[in-house]
Structure 1
Amino acid sequence: MSIFPKISLRLEVENYLKAGFMNKEVVSALGKEEAERKFETLLQKLSHPPSFTTVRVNTHLASVQHVKSLLFDELQKVRAHFCHYQFNGLSFPILQHPDLQDVLLIPVIGPRNNIKQQPCEVIVGAQCGNAVLRGAHVYVPGIMSASKFMKGGDVVSVYSDIKGKCKKGAKEFDGTKIFLGNGISELSRKEIFSRLPELKGVGVRMTDPVYLSPSFDNVLPSYLFLQNLPSAVVSHVLDPQPGEKILDLCAAPGGKTTHIAALMHDQGEVIALDKISNKVEKIKQNALLLGLNSIRTFCFDGTKALKLDMVKDTDGEPPFLPESFDRILLDAPCSGMGQRPNMACTWTLKEVTSYQPLQRKLFTVAAELLKPGGVLVYSTCTVTLAENEEQVAWALKTFPHLQLQRQDPQVGGEGMLGAGLSSEQLKRLQRFDPCVVPSQDSDTGSLRDARIEDMIWLANKDCIGFFIAKFVKCKST
């Protein structure tokens, strides 16, 4: 059995998800038992991190091989840091993805069941806990509770309060908590809670985590961008070309924006919109750090990005005239039900289902802003049928001038049954569902013996839940 439970959801939300994954078309194709098994596997997988950490090389500044060599040296330092763990001759191997040449993969080892829990405890919030499972140390703002007599230098066990019940500054916590591993406290309990909110640095340095994954804090920051595998696929599917004018309609924090600019060799114009100002600043910081000059950012609501009065566009700022862009990426706001690890989601059904209307508003704007012959890519980081395949079916019906296209590279699986799309249409979609991978504990032995082909297959399958659709706007006759 796994040391983590399946993701904790409100019953109404779990039933909603289950209805999508066990709709009539799916049950008819797979059988009820197999459909139910896949759904239960999904719930288990969502609470665990993906099997690989994915980093994208900024090819605008350096070659992949050069960065791979630099990263190898950095990971040897990380390996030495985990002094309590016996590697049995293993290091962190670095794989270059065969279909995504600018993507490097580093296996995650775990979950490990033989870590001795310590009497001195630190409780962290759920978001902090999720970050620790993906290789991060514990930063002070994420600490909710610490044992009464904890001192700097103590070996402590770190737990995640997945239901958000722990009070800030508590000396003990008896609620639901999930063990994340052991670390060394950088500060005493008194230093942590008497100097908040000023303290921002590392509070616990993880030395023996349940999931052994390298931290990428300040590792080759101009050369590497930490990015989930499907998120890197999206920009390749968009296939931006030098000299084009491209719109990233919901761009923050800028991972895909900067990837687009790098793929077009920083030649052309990438317009990045987001309606939250501090997120726009993050896009600017990332562009500056990665040395990209073709990106223009605007704090602007994407649903209002279409100019309705048809006055000539003279300033190049939003809103824009119809048919202004060669390619558009709509990485839409979504319920995020594919994010991993996520051990608990407290959202109501109303919140989960609130995104479909917003996605349709944004899609309508994108369809108008796209030039004839242009490419529109729609993506989400969720697994719901309503935000993915149902949106494609709606788009094809609403916008007859849009045609669903095959995708290259095709790394994920085909779309899910249940939205009335044809078999050929489903093959033109990419759905990343971790439920295709059997839910089981992993260990270093399987990593040692695995072939590269098997590891790439696992990286493609055991990632976050994600969805991609690609459309082309027909030229007028």
Structure 2
Amino acid sequence: MSVFPKVSLRPEVENYLKEIFTNQEIVSLSKQEAEEKFETLLNHLAHPPSFTTVRVNTHLAAVQHVKNLLLDELQKQFSELNIPVIEHPDLPDILLIPVIGPRKDIKKQQCEAIVGAQCGNAVLRGAHIYVPGIVSASKFMKVGDVVSVYSDIKGKCKKGAKEFDGEKIFLGNGISELSRKEIFNGLPELKGIGIRMTEPIYLSPSFDNVLPSYLFLQNLPSAVVTHVLNPQPGEKILDMCAAPGGKTTHIASLMHDQGEVIALDKISNKVEKIKQNALLLGLNSIKAFCFDGTKALKLDMTKDPSGAPPFLPESFDRILLDAPCSGMGQRPNMACTWTLKEVTSYQPLQRKLFTVAVQLLKPGGVLVYSTCTITLAENEEQVAWALKTYPCLQLQPQEPQVGGEGMVGAGLSLEQLRHLQRFDPSVVPLQDIDIDSLRDAKTEDMIRLANKDCIGFFIAKFVKCRSTLEKNPQK
């Protein structure tokens, strides 16, 4: 059931997305059905997925052991509730935790706090509220008060305001850890928890310092990607746009930390995050570099013994290009202020990265391309472009196939569409999940729901059939 309005977009962006989801190939089936499905998608994007997904670091511990530790942790967090932890049958290192909600019996308090839209999204996924995310608080708010928390989805509330009458979405109640005066006193060192959520609309476990070496919080399709890549021990693998390292560390874990995983990102503090995650998870095969993936191809043929980028052509057995994208599939996302120019700016960058990836891949090697967006231009259109531009590439079926097939509208054949994975949350109704419904639910039904009611995402898998050294195709 919908408890929030659909994601708030600029009219130009909403019209652009509507044209995609009601394109000529789709509406040839049913225009009304296509329009209703699009509205359903916008509504789903504003709500959190039905499950929290965590990946077990199988390099350090067995899944069953970590599952037992996680059940103990959930018992501590939700002593009165018996929330199950489900093992995914097709993703052997993935655990699923149902999200309880929306809860409709939460009493709104007189004392209020307003948070920014991004902070509000995090609260709906189980986070507490850190001081930098608080935009406004009632003038009488003190330590220990029960506070009703709202998200300012339009970004209209002024920092430090004592009240706000603009459009705001109720997220639940929490306990204030600081007074209003302490929150807005301007001290930069105040970055800890400002409000501890006790009655959120959607109840998800907090993973702040919870089994940090054993668990990695990850959206379900993001975990599927690495299994589709299927890294093998001893291989040399490139993760072109790697931060914060979720997929990088997953690759190393699936390889049993045997081989070489090169992770690139062009922002230095993000590269440090990759290194921190590798250290935390006990993985030694990862080498992270602050480097622009579009420049990762070495133009002269002299070998660099340091192993640092740029790299010689055809150096890698497998390459993951989890490309920078418009991120329009992220959930929950109550508001996006991006202009149409910003939303459509990613296709050229993705093609530059893809061009480098093809040349860095060995003949017989695997290239997996993925995005966390729902647009045709960044997904199926990129596949059509790649197959036309690089005859050396063949589109491959994917294993595991958890998502749906690709979307029509980019001129791909039905067989090619079946080889793709598009995760579209609008294919299932929004769910009300409570403890009673969980008690009666079948495991296979919950897994089916988790596979569909997740973020919007896209995966394509290619194999390179022959060398590109003799003659590089035109860009």
TM-score calculated relative to the size of structure 1:
0.97
Residues 388-447 of structure 1 deviation map (CA, whole Å, 9 limit, x = unaligned): 000000000000000000000000000001110001000000000001012354444432
1:22 aligns with 22
**CA, structure 1 residues 206+476, in 2 after alignment: closer, same or farther (shift >3 Å)?**
closer
Distance of 1:439 and 1:243 partners within structure 2: 43
1:280 aligns with 271
Moved more, 235-244 or 31-40: 31-40
Distance of 1:198 and 1:192 partners within structure 2: 11
1:79 aligns with 78
- What secondary structure does 2:156 align onto? coil
Cα shift at 1:450: 1.5
CA contact (8 A) 1:54 1:227 kept: yes
Matches within 5 A, 1:426-465: 426-439=417-430, 441-465=432-456
Counterpart of 1:16 in structure 2: which amino acid?
Y
Cα shift at 1:20: 0.7
CA contact (8 A) 2:362 2:467 kept: no
Residues 331-388 of structure 1 deviation map (CA, whole Å, 9 limit, x = unaligned): 0000000000000000000000000000000000000000000000000000001100
Residues 18-38 of structure 1 deviation map (CA, whole Å, 9 limit, x = unaligned): 111111111123x11211111
Residues 227-251 of structure 1 deviation map (CA, whole Å, 9 limit, x = unaligned): 0000000000000000000000000
1:371 aligns with 362
- What secondary structure does 1:8 align onto? coil
1:385 aligns with 376
2:341 aligns with 350
1:6 aligns with 2:6: yes
Distance of 1:249 and 1:222 partners within structure 2: 24
CA contact (8 A) 2:50 2:431 kept: no
Distance of 1:444 and 1:165 partners within structure 2: 37
- What secondary structure does 2:28 align onto? helix
Matches within 5 A, 1:310-325: 310-325=301-316
1:84 aligns with none
1:265 aligns with 2:256: yes
Distance of 1:309 and 1:142 partners within structure 2: 48
CA contact (8 A) 1:3 1:113 kept: no
2:471 aligns with none
CA contact (8 A) 1:2 1:441 kept: no
Residues 187-209 of structure 1 deviation map (CA, whole Å, 9 limit, x = unaligned): 11111111532111111111111
Structure 2: unaligned runs, 5 residues or longer: 469-475
Matches within 5 A, 1:58-137: 58-80=57-79, 90-137=81-128
Cα shift at 1:311: 2.2
Cα shift at 1:263: 0.2
* Structural RMSD (CA): 1.2
1:307 aligns with 2:298: yes
Cα shift at 1:113: 1.7
Counterpart of 2:385 in structure 1: which amino acid?
W
Counterpart of 1:363 in structure 2: which amino acid?
F
Matches within 5 A, 1:225-304: 225-304=216-295
Aligned length: 468
Distance of 2:139 and 2:306 partners within structure 1: 60
CA contact (8 A) 1:157 1:181 kept: yes
Structure 1: unaligned runs, 5 residues or longer: 81-86
CA contact (8 A) 2:83 2:435 kept: no
Distance of 2:289 and 2:256 partners within structure 1: 22
Distance of 1:161 and 1:46 partners within structure 2: 17
Distance of 2:16 and 2:5 partners within structure 1: 20
Distance of 1:24 and 1:198 partners within structure 2: 54
Identity %: 84
TM-score calculated relative to the size of structure 2:
0.97
CA contact (8 A) 1:249 1:329 kept: yes
2:200 to 209, 234, 241: 209
